[in-house]
Amino acid sequence: MNFESMKLNRDRFGKDEDYGKVIPEDEAFELLNDWVKNEKLIAHMKQVAHLMAAFAETKGLSESDQYRWYLAGLLHDADWEKWPESHCRLIIEELESRGVDPEIIRAIASHGPKYFGVEPKSDMDKMLYAFDELSGLIHAYSLMRPEGYVGMNVKGVKKRLKDKSFAAQVSREDISDAANRAGISLDELIQFVVINQIDTRDKFLL
């Protein structure tokens, strides 16, 4: 994939007057059901959404803020399956046309700085970037453990991180870059994901 073609070449997203505006959860799922057929991708977005909401809650943010973080996670890869070459430009434009909060849109726009060319700035931006790849690797690890997430520990996850052949598509470079930017140690981040995971393995029809 040519990274250059994925660059968004902009740094402002959404409209100031839409600050604080969200779409209801059923509308978000309607959009997902329209755009995404791959259940694994839906499960990934739900997992990231759940982690985002849980993190916002631990930070003591209000319920409406938790929902804004949740939405950023839930929709961040919505256009990936249908239009991989235009990921994440199309979901950004869609949310702009629906008048969604610029902070939510910006978080989505910065979830892959080396691809989209948008630096994560806010906490929401940084945590979406931090949870994205790491949760994918941890989920893959849970699928190969008979007990899933039960009894999983930081040491085991770090072993998989070091083993480059495990979930090889997951960028280790992005994971450590994201943890650095978030100012959270990798151990802490892993611990948070493990504790707050949702077990989506039923979605995988194993």
Q: Footprint of Fe ion on this chain (CB under 5 A)?
A: 77, 132
Alpha-carbon span 159 to 137, nearest angstrom = 11
* CB of 15 or CB of 82, closer to Fe ion: 82
Least CB distance to Fe ion at residue 194 (A): 18
| Nearest approach, Cβ of residue 17 and Fe ion (Å) | 27
Residue among 109 and 157 whose Cβ is closer to Fe ion: 109
Nearer to Fe ion, 152 or 170 (CB): 170
Q: Which is nearer to Fe ion, 77 or 101 (CB)?
A: 77
In this structure, what is the dihedral angle of CA atoms 58, 64, 68, 69, given to the nearest 10 degrees?
A: 10
Rounded to a whole number of angstroms, the minimum distance from the CB of residue 105 to Fe ion is 14
Geometric angle at alpha carbon 74, from 107 and 149, rounded to 5°: 110
Smallest distance from the beta carbon of 86 to Fe ion, in angstroms?
A: 12
Q: 73 and 50 in contact (C-beta within 8 Å)?
A: yes
Burial class (CB in 10 A: 0-12, 13-18, 19+), 84: exposed
Q: How far apart are CA 107 and CA 87, in angstroms?
A: 14
